[in-house]
Amino acid sequence: MSIDLPALIVSAVLLAGLYATMSYGLALIYGVMKIVNLAHAGVMMWGAYAAFLLVARLGVNPFLAPLLIVPLFFGLGILLQRFVVRHVMSAPPISSLLLLFGTWLIMQNIAYLLFSGDTRTITTPYTLLTLKVAGFAISVNRLLVFVVGVVALVSLQRFLGHTYLGKAIRATAQDSAASQLVGINTDRIMEIAFGIGTALAALAGTLMALIFAFDPDFGRSHLLKSFCIVVLGGLESFVGVALGALVLALAEALSILAVMPALQDFISFAILVIVLIVMPGGLMGLIGKLKPKGVLR
């Protein structure tokens, strides 16, 4: 039995785009607010249903749907931070964990009430269409999802690196107290960061809904995968997240050469454990360590 290795790698790279998109929001919120957003899974699920309503019920083009979904969830994220999360910011971490876990459960139950437990799918004009590129059959849907993921990364990097607001978010992420001293309204920055993180999670949900079937429990296993990616990437770096996503997608895909496909999740969590023990700073931490020694330039 000979596996088509190049096809497997191409597919893993495309999947990495999706993995990265679903992890940016988690990394941003952790970076700025130092809380683990367990409601991330619920937002991804709601993003999927928002896309379902727009595409299946209102006939909106699936790749234009994010233009409506992203601002909507940005606003929802701000409201969530202002009226819910802010109250536990100074409490021990377990408080925010429980609060956001409860928020996720509420979101899930609302979805069950509104949409029932039925499995839903979104069929687009590109579903099942493939492009033949250099002998590889590439799914148009997956390619477009990858492109949106890359555009999100580039936009995020430019926003954080080249705008006042972006720099303020980075400053707050590095040192909240010092940021306040130089006049940054960190409360406002945290709201905006939570809004952006929520919007990114909803964007990921929208994109995932174009590929996978979903129900109100959707997002649970993706959340765990996002944790692995964020830890692998180094917790606070978007480039690290993208790298982490690529490494994880490749590891999972190539693992079938050695283990059965049912152990793909095992691979993810084995990587999580190893990274936490061996290089707690993740890939970006490792790169940072290697740079001064001249190993990496």
In whole angstroms, how close is the CB of 102 to other proteins at the nearest point? Answer: 16
Q: What three-state secondary structure class fits 133? A: strand
Residue with Cβ nearer other proteins (40 or 142): 142
Contacts of 51 (CB under 8 A, 6+ apart): 62, 65, 69, 122, 205, 206, 209, 210
Q: Please report whether residue 58 would count as binding other proteins according to CB under 8 A.
A: no
The nearer residue to other proteins, 96 or 108, going by C-beta atoms, is: 108
Distances from the Cα of 106 to the Cαs of 42, 43, 50, 103, in angstroms? 9, 11, 17, 5
What angle do helix axes 164-174 and 5-33 make, rounded to 10 degrees?
80
Mutual orientation of helices 238-254 and 220-233 as an angle, nearest 10°? 120
- By C-beta, is 39 or 208 nearer to other proteins? 208
Query: 14 or 243: whose CB is closer to other proteins?
Result: 14
CB of 237 to other proteins, least distance (A): 23
Does the footprint of other proteins cover residue 155 (CB under 8 A)? no
**What is the contact mask toward other proteins in residues 64 to 93, using x (rule: CB under 8 A)?**
------------------------------
Q: What is the distance between the alpha carbons of residues 262 and 255, in angstroms, rounded to a whole number?
A: 10
- Please work out the total of residues on this chain that contact other proteins, with binding judged by CB under 8 A: 49
Name which of 22 and 202 has its Cβ closer to other proteins: 22
Q: According to the binding rule CB under 8 A, does residue 117 interact with other proteins?
A: yes
Token pair, residue 254, equals 């190539």
Which of 106, 155, 185, 265 contacts other proteins by CB under 8 A? 265
Interface positions, 196-255, toward other proteins (CB under 8 A): 211-217, 220-222, 225, 249, 252-253, 255
Nearest-approach distance from CB 227 to other proteins, in angstroms: 14
Q: Does 1 bind other proteins (CB under 8 A)?
A: yes
Report the sign of the C-alpha dihedral through residues 240, 36, 38, 279, in that order: positive
Torsional sign, CA 235, 237, 242, 244:
negative
Element (DSSP H or E) covering residue 28? helix 5-33
Rounded Cα–Cα distance for residues 249 and 267 (Å)? 10
Can you give the binding site for other proteins, defined by CB under 8 A?
1-4, 7-8, 11-12, 15, 109, 112-113, 116-123, 127-130, 137, 139, 142, 211-217, 220-222, 225, 249, 252-253, 255-256, 260-265
